[in-house]
């Protein structure tokens, strides 16, 4: 079974992103065995649009990733992400 990944490349529009979304997302991951592989860190741009927050989440399967995304706990904070940031939020199956 292939692992699955969430790739986020976001530009924060409002400082409340940190307290209203980022601080809450950790608690939504354990039931689905999700974990951060990348969260912040130094960014080196070679091509493409620049953002100021980049993350990579790993899940054991596409099913777990989809279950996490559709979970009540995560859906409760999605509006906070959407209202305080903009950018790419991609869910992808690994090899």
Output the tens digit of pLDDT for each of the chain's 95 residues: 899 999 999 999 988 888 888 889 999 999 999 999 999 888 888 988 888 889 999 999 999 999 999 999 999 999 999 999 999 999 999 99
Structure-token pair, residue 38: 């990348």
In this prediction, residue 16 carries a pLDDT of: 84
In this prediction, residue 76 carries a pLDDT of: 96
The CA distances from residue 24 to 27, 38, 42, 49, in Å, are 6, 17, 22, 26
Write down the residue that tokens 């906070």 correspond to. 80
Q: How far is CA 18 from the centre of its chain?
A: 13
In this prediction, residue 36 carries a pLDDT of: 97
CATH assignment of the domain containing 67: 3.30.70.100
In this prediction, residue 1 carries a pLDDT of: 85
Number of structural domains found in the chain:
1
Structure-token pair, residue 60: 């054991």
Q: State the residue range of the domain holding 25.
A: 4-93
């Amino acid at each position: 079974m292939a692992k699955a990944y969430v790739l986020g490349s976001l530009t924060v529009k409002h400082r409340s992103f940190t307290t209203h979304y980022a601080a809450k997302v950790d608690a939504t991951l354990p039931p689905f065995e999700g974990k951060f592989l990348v969260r912040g860190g130094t960014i080196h741009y070679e091509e493409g649009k620049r953002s100021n927050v980049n993350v990579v989440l790993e899940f054991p399967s596409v099913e777990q990733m989809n279950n996490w995304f559709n979970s009540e706990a995560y859906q409760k904070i999605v509006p906070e992400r959407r209202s305080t940031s903009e950018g790419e939020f991609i869910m992808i199956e690994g090899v």
